[in-house]
Amino acid sequence: MVTALEGIKVLDLSRLAPGPFASMLLADFGADVTLVEAVPGASAKLAGGPRNAESAQRTAAYNALGRGKKSIALNLKDEAARQVFYDMVRGADVVLEGFRPGVVKRLGVEYATLSQINPRVICCSLSGFGQTGPYSNLVGHDINYISVGGALGVTGWPGQPPAIPVNLVADFAGGGLMAAFAICVAILAREKTGRGQNVDIAMSDGVMALMTSAFSGFFNNGQPIRPGEYLLNGAAPFYGVYQCSDGRWFSLGSIEAHFFDALCGVLGLEQYRNRQYDQASWPEQKEAIARVMRTKTADGWMALMSQHDICAAPVLEMENVPLDPHNVARGMVVEIDSPVGKVKQVGVGPKLSETPGSVRGTAPLIGQHTDEILAALGYDSARIAALRESGAVG
């Protein structure tokens, strides 16, 4: 079966989650991704991984972000290792890195250098605040990027601290997903121009881009979104979560009038059918809905509401998400072979009819394919041994 990115060679220098997630997305759709990892022991900052073979194999087996990839260990501070990397770049399509601005230049693997070796190469830099701007050299994590990008400031409830989400918005959506999208766009552009280019992904930019619709409203009417005071972040009684008789939570999203009408009918709250946007009555409506929702279990409400064209779903606890029949039917839980036996991973999100993605294997151990990759570059066994002895590769 043909894969969408078959023949695209990606060299991934990134370490933290956003970069590996981007290259995982590319690998799932057929790209040949090689992790260019640090030689074990070469950097104190990267110490602390599994200390024995069994735990390392298990960690790799469940590391979905590394799936379907190969691994070579290079000490890029070593001139011989850099030459190996340059040889790899000659046949590469994409180089992805997630270092702080300036690091790749110090290592001699920035776009200006690599494009001289291969004018068709696409270099993608993925960082918190990007390569330019007053924050570019600041350190940070997801919580900081969603702060600057605007997402954290609209979450939570009035008078309370912002609600901190799991690191999905900046790291994975604003960072990794944006990077994978931009790389694919750059590959398409190369078909027109014949040249690669440099891609600058800032996670803070990505977060703000995800808030395009929210800011469109603000730019139009000048009304900022405040925590818990906007229709889509907790203010409206028909768009929120309610506790059920079993203590579980249930989500309602009946924004449109016909969905709200159906909701009122099922809940026995017909008196509110013509008062959906009567904001003065929203507190009263919330109390009424909460009172009725506590009369059934979450599964009981789902069984009932799913029969009446209502925007509703139970809030699945993490342990129940992989068991949900819809998620299973959609292939969002896959079981694959690994050196430690069969393991479960999250499946491929986008469903393409002609060139579908797939999980092609578990993550490699660090440097697992070093010899194989060097041999493919034309290095003989003596040269490979010398590189290992010097610590240039691992």
Active site residues: 141, 171
Sheet of 69-73, strands arranged across? 69-73, 32-37, 9-12, 94-97, 122-127, 198-202
Contact 363, 56 (CB under 8 A): no
Q: What distance, in Å, lies between the first and last C-alpha atoms of the chain?
A: 34
Cβ neighbours of residue 367 under 8 Å, at least 6 residues apart?
A: 37, 39, 40, 71, 72, 73, 393, 394
Judging by beta carbons within 10 Å of its beta carbon (0-12, 13-18, 19+), is residue 371 exposed, middle or buried? Answer: middle
Angle of the 212-221 helix axis to the 203-210 helix axis, nearest 10: 60
Name beta bridge partners: 124: 96, 199
Backbone CA torsion sign across 332, 336, 338, 343? positive
Q: Are strands 333-336 and 343-346 parallel, antiparallel or unpaired?
A: antiparallel
Residue of 326, 363, 369, 325 whose CA lies nearest to 345: 363
Name beta bridge partners: 201: 126
Name beta bridge partners: 10: 33, 94
Name beta bridge partners: 33: 10, 69
For residue 346, count other CB atoms closer than 10 A to its CB: 15
Using the structure block, give the residue that is written with the tokens 């699945």: 316
| CA–CA gap between residue 115 and residue 89 (Å, rounded) | 9
User: How far is CA 279 from each of CA 130, 276, 312, rounded to the nearest angstrom?
Assistant: 41, 8, 21
